[in-house]
Structure 1
Amino acid sequence: MKVLKFGGTSVANASNISLVKNIVANTNTNKTIVVVSAFGGVTDLLLNAAHLASKQSEGYKSILKEIEDRHLETAKELIHVNAQSKVLSKVKSELNTLETLLEGAFLIGEITPRLSDKIVSYGELLSSYIISEYFAQEGLKAGYLDSRELIKTNDVNGKATVNFDLTNANCANFLDKDEHQVIVMGGFIASSESGNSTTLGRGGSDYTAAIIAAAINAEFLEIWTDVSGMYTANPKLVKQAKAIPHISYEEAMELSHFGAKVLYPPTIQPVLAKGISIVIKNTFEPENAGTLITKNKNEKGKTVRGISHVENIALLSLEGPGMVGIPGTSKRFFEVLSQSEISVVLITQASSEHSICVGISADDIDKATEVVNAAFEYEIERGKIKPVIAEKELAIIALVGDNMKSHQGLSGKMFSTLGKNNVNLRVIAQGASERNISAVIKKEDVKKALNALHEEFFEENIKQLNLFVMGVGNVGSKFLNQVYQQKKFLKENLKLNIRVIGMSNSRTMVFEENGISLKNWEEALAGGQKADKVEFMKMVNELNYRNSIFVDNTASEEVSKTYNTYLGNSISVVTCNKIACSSAYENYQELKSLARTYNAPFLFETNVGAGLPIIDTLKHLIASGDKILKIQAVLSGSLNFVFNNFNDKTTFHDVVKQAQQEGYTEPDPKIDLSGVDVMRKILILARESGNQLEITDIANKPFLPQESLDTDNNEDFFATLIKNEDDFQAMYKEANDANSKLKYVAQFEDGKASVGLQAIPKGHDFYNLEGSDNIVLFYTERYPNQPMIIKGAGAGADVTASGIFADIIRIGNF
């Protein structure tokens, strides 16, 4: 024998009920008990109708009409025309009785718990009758049973206690007499020994099925719902969540207690003692294996089996010196909550006895605050105990697994993962069985916390990085294409899954919570909303994704001023924009401090040398205890390109124009040619070496004429280059005559920095620097005579994009 329970979604309409019939018809057993819920949403409609009637609002009539139409229409769809008369007559009769009950509530202007149970029972009474008639019509040897005839309870309405002795006897007697192969009955409803309708509380249909399964010693209890089993986490919040094939009773109870809504915790109790297996299956995908729940057979010794959560939690804290060493304080505290029918879901107490903190439903927090303050009024007035502290907008997350107790470090791993994502733990609790580790966090952090923990414990060490990209021009577009091309490689080889969640240019911005398709990102961006840096930042914070990274591919000072906000919200920043790190030293230090405080990496490798590992190498030298003595460098790929291509057969104007067109210079080439860009770069290297400098401390020996420096637009700037061509040719001739090459050199030594154009003789490390290459010489205490040299392409969209990409991979490997 098997017991199959189908929830409200499974029996929401005629189409779904036909799927249920196919499942029941294919059940391989000699006798099947089918327990059904009310049609999806009907129980809520009944409760709402009862509430309106008790308030003497005639609005209940429209709800009653909706309930009537729903059942009559479903019956007409399921039952053949020649057999509808009997079924519709029965349904209408029951609905007439329901109408009378609601009219009674309307007339007296109130509703008692007993009347409420009677009204709400009609959902299951009607659904089970209609479904049983449909089954019989379709050739199943099916019969209808009113659950109230078998399941007996006390007279407490709303959540009655089952009389198992009487119920079990009723079930045995019924089975001996009934000859139907399939018996359909409603869940949730029961009756007291005196004959009054009662209900079994939230999740009562699951409970009904478990009661029957235990009473008849069923082979299996199958719970059919709209998901394929119990999942490692809520699949609506964690897209990577997967069904758990096999789980123990105890693990299932913990997960269901902490929010896994496919199973109601008391469901397991009746079948637990009998050792009856439970299977969670999907009505809409019956071929899926689902989840098997049995005694603990976790042979492979898996630790964490699932991650769950409970929302709408509040904390209630009682503390004060008057609690220390005073017997009975805890008793009084919990007793007053119990007397007020306030359920406690989590408890923690300081070993000093100075405080007690409990987690309760947020719906009860105001009432709890009032009754606890009243109970301890004497101590509060005398300052021995503080008024109770109430905290709202919280949630509980929990790791669950039978074998967690035999594995060290799980708590640390859990808390470390949350800490890296700036999820603050308000309270921590762990049971003596170590089957559950729970923590209270902000409600707004639930999705991020669940995804971060799921990634850590279930996703084969694949780390998901969520990018928000500002600037998709020359460098930005190359970067996005590189991410697209390398996505598969990164996932397979580095265990990194990179998604671009949001992007923006100066005109439009677009967000996609599951990731923007990088195959056609231009189309997505073109159809986006109007760009707004403030709204962009607001959206990044609202999404609150784990491992979030803001990527700045612009040269905008305005964008650079947003870094502190991103870092302060634990959002990492990767940028090729040099403005922030070369701004006031105080701002530079603040950004570095925020990155450390909020565990949000701030990486800017491309600020110096594009994709060359210059800053990263410098950091490793400093971290290993080396000390920088001198830095000599050619740090402008654009200037190196210009002076490598400028000669007596070209014009300075044309070479600069070519450099701009090929993306070697900033949009405003004067930034490069004036030396400002190189000043920023040597300033950053000096600061990363541990020195406190401002950009005004750097000596700049410009080679451009003053009138070029005084221009305020590119057209005028290029015009001055043409006008002063003779001066540029004279510079070239002087260097060439001396068998030297012109290089724009940056230097830092003894706390002083300078930049300027120099004639480099043959034999020097800078002489043969080709194209747009950069070169840096680090003279240190370990490399005092022969410097450490880093050399390579130092400009261009491709290499800059690859440097940004490398910084993102560094974050992924943190």
Structure 2
Amino acid sequence: MNVLKFGGTSVGSTENIKKVIQILDNYSKEDSLICVVSAVGGITDKLLKAGELAQNKNESYLAEYKLIKQIHLDILSELIPNQNEASKEYLESKLHALKSLLDGIYLINELSPKTSDKLVSFGEQLSSFIIAETMKSYGLNAVRKNSQELIITNSNFSKAEVNYTLTNHNIRDYFKKANQRITILPGFISTSESGEVTTLGRGGSDFTAAIVAAALQVNRLEIWTDVSGMYTANPKLVKQAFPIERLSYQEAMELSHFGAKVLYPPTVQPVLDLGIPIHIKNTMQPEASGTIITNENTNGNSTTAKGISNISDIALLTLQGNGMVGIPGFSKRLFETLAQEKINVILITQASSEHSICFGIDEKDAEKAEKAINVSFENEISLHKIDPIIVEKDLSIVALIGDNMKNHQGISGRMFSALGKNNINIRAIAQGASEKNISTVIAQKDVKKALNTIHERFFEDQSKQLNVFITGVGNVGERLVEQIKQQKKFLKDQLKINLRVIGLSNSKTMIFNDSGLSLKTWKDDLATGEKATLEGFLERIKKFNLRNSIFVDVTANEQVSNIYADYLKENIAIVACNKIACSSDYENYNKLKYLSRKYNAPFLFETNVGAGLPIIDTLNNLIASGDKITSIQAVLSGSLNFVFNNFDDNTKFHDVVKQAQAEGYTEPDPRIDLSGVDVARKILILARESGTQMNLEDIENESFLTTSNLKSTSVDDFYKTLISDEAHFQNLYASAKANNCQLKYVAEFNNGKAKVGLKEIPQGHPFYNLKGKDNIVMFYTQRYPEQPMIIKGAGAGADVTASGLFADIIRIGNK
């Protein structure tokens, strides 16, 4: 014999009920079976609502009743179009009895626990009748048996305790004589020893099924629901969660206690001692394997952790004070006070100094607990031996669960490290000596991020999800998106990095998708996006609160750089080719570096110097290894190098600059490049990364531009001055040619001082043959005093700059 239980969603519609009947029909061909059913989905809540409305003298309880009535009549007529009058008459008689009960509640203005049990019992009575009648109409050998005639309890209404002696006798006696193939039982409901209607409390239908399964000692109890078993995490919050194939009873109870809705802990108890397996199955996908819960030890080849669960709406209360140290009885008095108020304690942790006791309860009980505890310890509080109880709200408990965790070292470390790297603050920790459960209390707003972070760490083949938000999708930004699109599969397969672009913005519009934007249609999507604002972009990222979030700045906008601190404080990493932040006032640069360390949010800006060349990374590695920079000589402007490599006595300086701008080697305003400010910023950044405190105004800038060039009021005006001052630029070229030299714009850092300017470079010098848009940097250090370390390559262009940004993103993924 098999026992199957179907929950509210499984019997929540005519389509689902037909699926249930098909499953029962298939099972009954092999063996007789017992089917326990819940009320139609949502009906129990509607019954309670109707009762509360009636109690409050609100006549809208009648509308709620009519809705309940119509739902059941519709289901019956859809399942049995040609129903016999007897079925409809019985159903209407039960509904009439429900109406009479609600009318009574309205008249006496009272809804006692006893009456409430009678009220909610209608849900299971109605659903079980409809299902049984439908099965009979299909020609199946099915009988409905009222569970109230079998399960006997005490009179603790709303959560009655079972009299197993009487109950087991009734169940065994009835089924010894029963000869039908299918028996339908309403779940949740029972009868007291005095004959009153009682209910088994939350999860009561599961409990009914377990009671029957244990009494008859069946081979297996099956719980049919709307998911394919118990998952490694809540699949609504963690999309990568998957069903767990096997669990021990203890693991299932832990997961259920900490929020998994598939199974209610007391369900396990009747079958636990008998070793009856519980099989969680999906009514909508009966072919899915589901989850099997047994008392077998599967630790030999099992995963370290089995699942993650959470309880929301938690309040954390702390009793503390020096007067507690060494004084026995505080814990006893505290928990007796809570017990008297019928407040359930979910989590407890106590400092070894005995200075404080911290515990978690349901947030709705926080005010009652606070008042009761302060009254209980009124004398100690008045004498300042202890403090008034401290209450913190808007919290959640996240628990990592698994029998096998006790056999592995470092589980807690891996869990807390993963949370810490994502700036998830842990308010309290509890771990039993059995090491089957590691529980943490965190802010409610961080639950989704925490669950995904822990799941990724323990269940996802060591892959790492990066959530990228890009502002500035012009020339470089567009190339970056294209490179991400091209390499996405490679990153996932080879580097175990799941890179998703969640948000994109230009100066006008912005778009978001927390599941990842389409990199095929992003241009069209962005064209119709919402209005872009810097604050709005940041607020949306904060609201998503995704793990491993990375803000990528592909602009040259000072306003964007001004809010870097706000990103870092939210544990959002920054990747930037925008040089303004790192070349701003030293205090701001230093503050950003500090915030990056404090909030464990990487701040990478490799493309600030040399586009895609690993200049800053190499410099940082030299410093980290104990080397010291003595001097730096560099050509750091790909645009200026391009200009002077293409300018001669057969060209015009104006035309070469125009070409450099057209090919994307200069900023939109070429004055930034030609004035030397851009190069000054780059050498400043290298000097700072070398450990020197310096500001932009400390750098000597020997400009090769004329006064009229420097005083130009617009880009167009600047180009006009280049034409009028052509002779000046020809003289510069002629001087270099006469000295058999090449013109290069050079940045130098030596003995704590820096300068930039145009120089004539002689033959034989490493800078002399620097071609095209290439950059070159020579690091002279204590380890490289005479022959410098040289880094050379393309230092400008959209593709190489995008690749530099991409490399920084991957660096974060590899950390």
Query: Aligned-pair distance for 1:297?
Result: 2.2
Task: Quote the residue 2:388 is aligned against.
Answer: 387
Unaligned runs of 5+ in 1: none
Task: Quote the residue 1:635 is aligned against.
Answer: 636
Deviation string, structure 1 residues 83-125 (Cα, Å, up to 9, x no partner): 3422111111001001111111100111111000000000000
In the alignment, the residues of structure 2 paired with residue 523 and residue 289 of structure 1 have an alpha-carbon distance, to the nearest angstrom, of 42
Unaligned runs of 5+ in 2: none
The 5 A counterparts of 1:492-503 are: 492-503=493-504
In the alignment, the residues of structure 2 paired with residue 309 and residue 217 of structure 1 have an alpha-carbon distance, to the nearest angstrom, of 33
The 5 A counterparts of 1:452-463 are: 452-463=453-464
Deviation string, structure 1 residues 236-274 (Cα, Å, up to 9, x no partner): 000000111111111011001000101111111111111
What SS is found at the alignment partner of 2:391?
strand
Task: Quote the residue 1:21 is aligned against.
Answer: 21
What SS is found at the alignment partner of 1:35?
strand
Task: Quote the residue 2:75 is aligned against.
Answer: 74
Task: Quote the residue 1:260 is aligned against.
Answer: 260
Deviation string, structure 1 residues 757-780 (Cα, Å, up to 9, x no partner): 011111100000000000000000
Task: Quote the residue 1:280 is aligned against.
Answer: 280
What SS is found at the alignment partner of 1:71?
helix
| Aligned-partner residue type, residue 225 of structure 1 | T
Task: Quote the residue 1:575 is aligned against.
Answer: 576
| Aligned-partner residue type, residue 214 of structure 1 | A
What SS is found at the alignment partner of 2:301?
coil
2:172 maps to 1:172: yes
Task: Quote the residue 1:331 is aligned against.
Answer: 332
Query: Aligned-pair distance for 1:704?
Result: 0.9
In the alignment, the residues of structure 1 paired with residue 184 and residue 670 of structure 2 have an alpha-carbon distance, to the nearest angstrom, of 81
In the alignment, the residues of structure 2 paired with residue 545 and residue 716 of structure 1 have an alpha-carbon distance, to the nearest angstrom, of 47
2:536 maps to 1:535: yes
Task: Quote the residue 2:445 is aligned against.
Answer: 444
**Matched-pair contact (CA < 8 Å) for 1:2–1:29:** no
| Aligned-partner residue type, residue 475 of structure 2 | N
Query: Aligned-pair distance for 1:59?
Result: 1.0
Deviation string, structure 1 residues 470-502 (Cα, Å, up to 9, x no partner): 110001000000000000000111110000111
Deviation string, structure 1 residues 349-396 (Cα, Å, up to 9, x no partner): 111111111100001000000000000001111111110000100000
Task: Quote the residue 1:743 is aligned against.
Answer: 744
Query: Aligned-pair distance for 1:519?
Result: 1.5
Task: Quote the residue 1:64 is aligned against.
Answer: 65
Task: Quote the residue 1:624 is aligned against.
Answer: 625
What SS is found at the alignment partner of 1:426?
strand
Q: Which runs of 4+ in 1 moved over 2 A?
A: 296-299
In the alignment, the residues of structure 1 paired with residue 31 and residue 685 of structure 2 have an alpha-carbon distance, to the nearest angstrom, of 80
Task: Quote the residue 1:250 is aligned against.
Answer: 250
Task: Quote the residue 2:237 is aligned against.
Answer: 237
Task: Quote the residue 1:487 is aligned against.
Answer: 488
Query: Aligned-pair distance for 1:527?
Result: 2.0
| Aligned-partner residue type, residue 95 of structure 2 | L
In the alignment, the residues of structure 2 paired with residue 369 and residue 658 of structure 1 have an alpha-carbon distance, to the nearest angstrom, of 74
Deviation string, structure 1 residues 5-64 (Cα, Å, up to 9, x no partner): 111111111111011111111116421111111111000000000001111110100000
**Matched-pair contact (CA < 8 Å) for 1:247–1:298:** no
What SS is found at the alignment partner of 1:299?
helix
In the alignment, the residues of structure 1 paired with residue 558 and residue 298 of structure 2 have an alpha-carbon distance, to the nearest angstrom, of 60
**Matched-pair contact (CA < 8 Å) for 1:549–1:574:** yes
What SS is found at the alignment partner of 1:516?
coil
In the alignment, the residues of structure 2 paired with residue 588 and residue 162 of structure 1 have an alpha-carbon distance, to the nearest angstrom, of 69
In the alignment, the residues of structure 2 paired with residue 239 and residue 792 of structure 1 have an alpha-carbon distance, to the nearest angstrom, of 43
What SS is found at the alignment partner of 2:252?
helix
Task: Quote the residue 2:695 is aligned against.
Answer: 694
What SS is found at the alignment partner of 1:679?
helix
Residue range with higher mean Cα deviation, 320-329 or 390-399: 320-329
Task: Quote the residue 2:89 is aligned against.
Answer: 89
In the alignment, the residues of structure 1 paired with residue 281 and residue 182 of structure 2 have an alpha-carbon distance, to the nearest angstrom, of 19
Task: Quote the residue 1:127 is aligned against.
Answer: 127
In the alignment, the residues of structure 2 paired with residue 384 and residue 759 of structure 1 have an alpha-carbon distance, to the nearest angstrom, of 80
In the alignment, the residues of structure 1 paired with residue 433 and residue 161 of structure 2 have an alpha-carbon distance, to the nearest angstrom, of 29
In the alignment, the residues of structure 1 paired with residue 327 and residue 756 of structure 2 have an alpha-carbon distance, to the nearest angstrom, of 73
In the alignment, the residues of structure 1 paired with residue 142 and residue 406 of structure 2 have an alpha-carbon distance, to the nearest angstrom, of 48
Task: Quote the residue 2:606 is aligned against.
Answer: 605
| Aligned-partner residue type, residue 274 of structure 1 | L
What SS is found at the alignment partner of 1:437?
strand
In the alignment, the residues of structure 2 paired with residue 71 and residue 36 of structure 1 have an alpha-carbon distance, to the nearest angstrom, of 15
| Aligned-partner residue type, residue 690 of structure 2 | S
In the alignment, the residues of structure 1 paired with residue 100 and residue 711 of structure 2 have an alpha-carbon distance, to the nearest angstrom, of 90
In the alignment, the residues of structure 1 paired with residue 709 and residue 38 of structure 2 have an alpha-carbon distance, to the nearest angstrom, of 82
What SS is found at the alignment partner of 1:315?
strand
In the alignment, the residues of structure 2 paired with residue 301 and residue 261 of structure 1 have an alpha-carbon distance, to the nearest angstrom, of 23
| Aligned-partner residue type, residue 134 of structure 1 | T
Residue range with higher mean Cα deviation, 524-533 or 477-486: 524-533
In the alignment, the residues of structure 2 paired with residue 308 and residue 177 of structure 1 have an alpha-carbon distance, to the nearest angstrom, of 43
Task: Quote the residue 2:109 is aligned against.
Answer: 109
| Aligned-partner residue type, residue 561 of structure 2 | S
In the alignment, the residues of structure 1 paired with residue 91 and residue 504 of structure 2 have an alpha-carbon distance, to the nearest angstrom, of 56
In the alignment, the residues of structure 1 paired with residue 262 and residue 332 of structure 2 have an alpha-carbon distance, to the nearest angstrom, of 35
| Aligned-partner residue type, residue 725 of structure 1 | E
In the alignment, the residues of structure 1 paired with residue 30 and residue 564 of structure 2 have an alpha-carbon distance, to the nearest angstrom, of 65
Deviation string, structure 1 residues 491-537 (Cα, Å, up to 9, x no partner): 11111000011110001001101000112111221121000110110
In the alignment, the residues of structure 2 paired with residue 151 and residue 673 of structure 1 have an alpha-carbon distance, to the nearest angstrom, of 90
- Number of residue equivalences: 813
Task: Quote the residue 2:805 is aligned against.
Answer: 804
What SS is found at the alignment partner of 1:748?
strand
Task: Quote the residue 2:321 is aligned against.
Answer: 320
In the alignment, the residues of structure 1 paired with residue 658 and residue 774 of structure 2 have an alpha-carbon distance, to the nearest angstrom, of 18
Give the structure-1-normalised TM-score. 0.99
| Aligned-partner residue type, residue 608 of structure 2 | N
Task: Quote the residue 1:37 is aligned against.
Answer: 38
Task: Quote the residue 1:521 is aligned against.
Answer: 522
**Matched-pair contact (CA < 8 Å) for 1:278–1:294:** yes
What SS is found at the alignment partner of 1:582?
coil
**Matched-pair contact (CA < 8 Å) for 1:426–1:439:** yes
Query: Aligned-pair distance for 1:738?
Result: 1.4
The 5 A counterparts of 1:355-366 are: 355-366=356-367
| Aligned-partner residue type, residue 25 of structure 1 | D
The 5 A counterparts of 1:345-494 are: 345-494=346-495
Task: Quote the residue 1:711 is aligned against.
Answer: 712
What SS is found at the alignment partner of 2:387?
coil
Task: Quote the residue 1:304 is aligned against.
Answer: 305
In the alignment, the residues of structure 1 paired with residue 772 and residue 135 of structure 2 have an alpha-carbon distance, to the nearest angstrom, of 81
The 5 A counterparts of 1:675-694 are: 675-694=676-695
Query: Aligned-pair distance for 1:407?
Result: 0.5
Query: Aligned-pair distance for 1:191?
Result: 0.9
In the alignment, the residues of structure 1 paired with residue 783 and residue 325 of structure 2 have an alpha-carbon distance, to the nearest angstrom, of 59
Query: Aligned-pair distance for 1:729?
Result: 1.2
Give the structure-2-normalised TM-score. 0.99
